Every structure is written in C-alpha cells, then in structure tokens.
Amino acid sequence: MSDDDLIIYEEEIEKIDLVLSKMLKGAEAKCALLVDKDGHLITRQGFTHSLDTTALAALLAGSFASTKEIARLVGESEFSVLFHQGKKDHIHMSLVGDRSILAVVFDDRTTIGMVRLYAKEAATELAKIIASVKSSSRESHTGLTDEFASTAGDKLDDIFQD
Amino acid sequence: MVSINYATREVTCKIVYYGPGLSGKTTNLIYIHKKVPANTKGKMISLATEADRTLYFDFLPINIGTISGFAAKFQLYTVPGQVYYNATRKLVLRGVDGLVFVADSQADKMDENIESLTNMRENVEEYGYNLDEIPVVIQYNKRDLPNVLSVEELDAKLNNKGWASFGAEAVNGAGVFDSLKMIIKLVLEKAKQGQKSKPKAEKKAAPAPAAKPESVAEKPATMTPSSEGVRESVPESQPVVSGSAETAQSRVAPEVREHVKTTAESAAPTGPIRSPAYDREGTGGESDKKEPVSSSDVPPMNKDIVSTTDDINQIPSDVKENKPGGEVGQETGRVTSDQARPFPGSRRERRITVSDFLPSSREDGMEEIDEESETDNVKKETAAESNLPSPTMAPSSRLIKKKRGFFKRLFGIK
C-alpha cells in the first residue's frame, strides 16, 4: 500500500503553483485547489484564506468519488468534469491524471466557459508534473524517520487526555 | 496512503472508523472532537441524514504538531454503518492508512459485527489493498450496556488476526483515546516500514531541512498488534458494566450532535502549516490576480482562441489603414472583437462593448466618422448619432426631424 504513498517535493509544488496561478489569472477565478482523490490537499492558490481548505479538500474528493459511482451506474467509467453552481460562487472540478482533482472556485466576474477552458489546459500541464512526481518519488525517499514515529507516539499522550 | 508534502512540510494520514450501524463510530469522533485541544483539531464535518444517521462520512482533521520539521496530520473519517449504504461506505476507504473497527459488544449484535467485518475485508480488497497489511485496531464499544459479551468472547469471534483490541464506552469516552493512540502509532510504524523497505537513492535537492535527524534511535517500546499488546490493553479499558438500559439510538443522542453543530462552528480550524516559501507563492498569486490582464501573461497556446485587450485595441487601427471609411472600419472592428470572444458575456467582452459608447475611449476610426458626419447630410445620420457626447443623452429634436424627413422622402410620403 505504501507503494502508492504520495510524496511531493517543493520544486514540484512550485511548478504546480505556477500553473495554478497562471490559470487563475487567465480565467479570472478566485482560487484553485489541487486535491488528491483520497481527500488530501496537495496545494492551493488564490484567495483561500477564508476557506477551510482541509475540509474542502476532503469533501471535494468525496463528491468526486460519489459522482464516479454515479457514472459507473450509467455506464461511464468516470465523469471527468463536475460543476457546482451557486448563487454567487461556483466550483468547477476536473480530473487531473488518474489520482488528482483540480477544483476552481469562481464567481460572476468570469464565466464557466473561461474557467473550463483554462482548467482544461492546466489539467494537462498538471498531469505531466504529477506523473513526474510519481516516477521520481519512487527513487528517493527521505520521508518518515524512526524518530518521527516515536516522537509522534510520545506526543499523543499529551494531546489525547481524557 | 500516507501523503508527504515537502512544500507545506506536512505528513497526512487517513484513519477510517468502520463498523456496523449504530455501533458508535460517529460518537467516537464527537468525543475526540470535544476533548482534544482547540489548536489541534479542525472543524468536524458530518454528512448525516435528517435522522442524524451518517449518510456519507464524518470528517475530523487532527494536527498533532510538528515533528522533525513536519506537521503530522491525521484525518479521521467514519463510514455509514448501515448495510444499505455500502456504495458510499466503500468510497471512504480509498487511500486508507489505518482502520478502527468499532464493534457493538451487545450479544444480539454479533451477526452485524461479523457481517460488517466481512464487508470491510471485501471493500478493502476491492481497492486492491491487503487487509493484513493495513493497521487495524478493534474497539468493543458499548461496554456500559447490559447483555454484552465479554472481551474474550468478542476477541474469539471477531479478532482472529490478533489486532489490538480495546473495550470502550464511546458515549462517555472510555477507550476512545486508547484506540486512537494505538492506531496512530501503528500507522506511523507502518509508514516508517514502508519507507524503509524501499530502495534509497540519491536525495533530492529540495527536501531535508536541518531538523531532519539522520541518527536512527530505535525505540523498542513502540507497540505492535501482537497478542501481547492485546492482552495488556484489555484490562485497562475493560469497564464495569453499568445498569444503563438506554437504547443504542438514544445513546448517540441529539445533544451530542448538537455539540458538533455548536462547537464545530466555534472551533478554530486547524491552521495550515505553510512554509515561508509557500506563503510567498500564495500571496504573490493573489496580488498578481488583481493586476489587469496583459497579453504577455496569457499562455501562448491561448492566443489564437482568446484575444487579449491589446489585440482588440489593434483591430480598429488596422482596419482603418485598409479601409478609409471610418464607419465600416468601426463596424468591422466590433464584429472581429465579438468573434474573438468565444464566450460572450465574459468580463473583457463587456468592457469593450461599454467603452465603445464612452467618448474618452473612442478609437481613431470613430474620430474620422466625426469629421465626416459634420459635413455630410442625412445619409450619415446614423453615424452622427453615435457622435453624441453621452449615451444617456437623448437625440436632439433637430435630428429626429431630419430623420423623419428622410423616411418621408424615402417612402414618398407627403
């Protein structure tokens, strides 16, 4: 299972952030989140300070997962684009590669078409970056040390007290 | 699967509470949410039905602090327990790092426990994971109810894998943290082994802060799901059976749910720990966003589809060079600009349209029309109309009369 561990390095995040901010500028959207299908937030750009991005990432991934099941019921393998329309703010979600989701939050300053166009381009670029992450992370692992696990174990007693 | 993000310096693990309906999975999370310090937890989200039964999942992020330069984050999920919701239950298991199986200790719930356990195995295997490789902790909940089986009996029936097991009363918190601490330890242990088992190649340039220790301090005391661990843990959390005859439904009581609604809102969300580099990127993106769009900022591949403001401004002047008729030039320019907008109604498209009516932003072509229209007669009146100082001003009575005269002449009316 740990073969699938998602390990992302700073330089890749920088590349991803660049693509995201370029897309935001082009589409004139509010913010963009790149989310792992498991519900982990990979990175975000734009006006995200007022958002609980952790919860948003989990819910977006959940939403995408349930839509995938719906797709399967109607004979599709997966819906690649999802759009939630609100009164003011809207969310456009699109699949990036096979394990990530790009969510773009936007309002009426732009249009769904613009967002869709730029998100599609960004998704192609992001898929390439993420594919390179997957292949490169196989080679070098500097992740969790023994001390990490043991220190975390010690901390638990402090935090989880009845 | 464990997610390690070197940019935000976060390690994120996903722990799922599994078990039959009404076994107390959500109650576990509610208790954890209630008891952990505010700076440790994020907002708890419960996707429940009107009757407070979990529909999709509950979600509680916990940040146990920075260790070796990394923020250790755990995302706790519950699944909907009812058999009916297997489709959504399976979805929550995607990318799971550790499982807490919450079993109902009551004797008459044994079948449901076994069914749920079998279902857990099936669902996990459907994702291609091996249940033997995923850390599992089993929690025998509702020890406070009468008619419960002993932990030994439950162990014999449910725990043939030798998983760590705990007796618990989730409604008052007994055994909740024991299960959580154990599963976190096991998940980290497993993550560490996963890292170790992989071939180590050259280090990448970006990661590895000074805080990362190279020396490996072996800790023999870390617990493993051995039978020894199980036996140790059982007596401590095996509670006295009280005479409470509450039904299971009333135990997951409305006031607890109420608590989530109130405290969840008041609780500060887990502050994302971001590296300075990341912050710089983030704010940079925002400030950039406020700037007007220029052609150089647009990705080159878009240029053929979406023309920028600069492109639009050039169009009328080009046309002017080719066609001396200002009116025609302007018209062509307008059409071209509209065609260049694949999405009518976009902001830039709107801006251009409005600017056409404003005297300050009038193009060169327009000025030519002005000169011509002054000398010209009725035929140029349409152009002369656009010559008005403001779009809000009504055409003068002289113009209207002229127009009427033109139509009268045209149709031969006297």
Q: Where are the beta strands (DSSP E) in chain A?
A: 6-8, 31-36, 41-46, 81-85, 90-96, 100-106
β-bridge mates for residue B14, sequence order: B75
Which residue ranges make up each domain of chain B? 3-194+221-277, 295-382
Q: Does B306 touch chain A (CB under 8 A)?
A: yes
d(CA B108, CA B117): 16
CA of B269: which chain A residue's CA is closest? A52
Asked if B285 and A46 come within 8 Å (Cβ–Cβ), the reply is: yes
Copy the structure tokens of residue B289.
């966003």
Q: What is the DSSP letter of B267?
A: S
CATH (residue range B3-194+221-277): 3.40.50.300
Write the single-letter amino acid at A68. Answer: K
Q: Complex ipTM, two decimals? A: 0.89
A:31-70 residues touching chain B, CB 8 A cutoff: 36-40, 42-48, 52-55, 58-59, 62, 65-66, 68-69
d(CA B170, CA B177): 9
**For testing the chain A interface, which of B3, B55, B92 should be mutated: the one with the most A CBs within 10 Å?**
B3
CATH of the domain at A19: 3.30.450.30
C-alpha separations of B314 from B321, B329, B348, B364 in Å: 11, 12, 15, 11
Which residues form the domain of A153? 2-159
Write the single-letter amino acid at B230. Answer: V
H or E element at residue B45:
strand B45-48
Q: Does B64 touch chain A (CB under 8 A)?
A: yes
Write the single-letter amino acid at A107. Answer: D
Q: Does A10 touch chain B (CB under 8 A)?
A: yes
Q: How near does any CA of chain A get to the CA of B283, in Å?
A: 8
Chain B contacts of A5, Cβ < 8 Å? 1-4, 191, 194
Between chain A and chain B, the number of residue pairs with CB atoms below 8 A apart is 284
C-alpha Rg value of chain A to the nearest Å:
18
Asked if A40 and B14 come within 8 Å (Cβ–Cβ), the reply is: yes
Copy the structure tokens of residue B201.
């190649």
Q: Which residues of chain B have pLDDT under 50?
A: 198-256, 258-350, 361-375, 378-386, 388, 390
Q: Does B243 touch chain A (CB under 8 A)?
A: no
Q: Does A97 touch chain B (CB under 8 A)?
A: no
Q: What are phi and psi of B271, to 5 degrees?
A: -65, 125
CA of B214: which chain A residue's CA is closest? A145
Q: Does B290 touch chain A (CB under 8 A)?
A: no
Query: Based on the structure, what is the number of domains in chain A?
Result: 1
Asked if B67 and A152 come within 8 Å (Cβ–Cβ), the reply is: yes
Chain B contacts of A160, Cβ < 8 Å? 32, 35-36, 177, 180-181
Task: State the 10-residue block means of pLDDT for chain A, 162 residues long.
Answer: 71 93 95 94 93 93 92 93 95 93 96 96 94 66 69 81 73
Chain A contacts of B278, Cβ < 8 Å? 13, 17, 43
d(CA B386, CA B366): 9
β-bridge mates for residue A129, sequence order: none
Asked if B277 and A10 come within 8 Å (Cβ–Cβ), the reply is: yes
- CB of A126 closer than 8 Å to CB of A16: yes
Could you say which of B61, B134, B208 has the minimum Cβ distance to residue A142?
B208
d(CA B130, CA B128): 7
Q: Does A83 touch chain B (CB under 8 A)?
A: no
Asked if B5 and A147 come within 8 Å (Cβ–Cβ), the reply is: no
pTM of the model: 0.64
**For testing the chain A interface, which of B286, B290, B305 should be mutated: the one with the most A CBs within 10 Å?**
B286
- CB of B383 closer than 8 Å to CB of B368: no
Asked if A13 and B346 come within 8 Å (Cβ–Cβ), the reply is: no
CA of A56: which chain B residue's CA is closest? B45
Amino acid B221: pLDDT = 39
Copy the structure tokens of residue A160.
């989880």
Copy the structure tokens of residue B293.
């769009």
d(CA B354, CA B331): 15
Can you spell out the DSSP letters for B114-145? HHHHHHHHHHHHHTT--GGGS-EEEEEE-TTS
Chain B contacts of A43, Cβ < 8 Å? 5, 7-8, 278
Amino acid B359: pLDDT = 56
Amino acid B47: pLDDT = 92
What tens digit of pLDDT does each residue of B95-144 get?
999 999 999 999 999 999 999 999 999 999 999 999 999 999 999 999 99
C-alpha separations of B29 from A89, A99, B111 in Å: 31, 27, 24
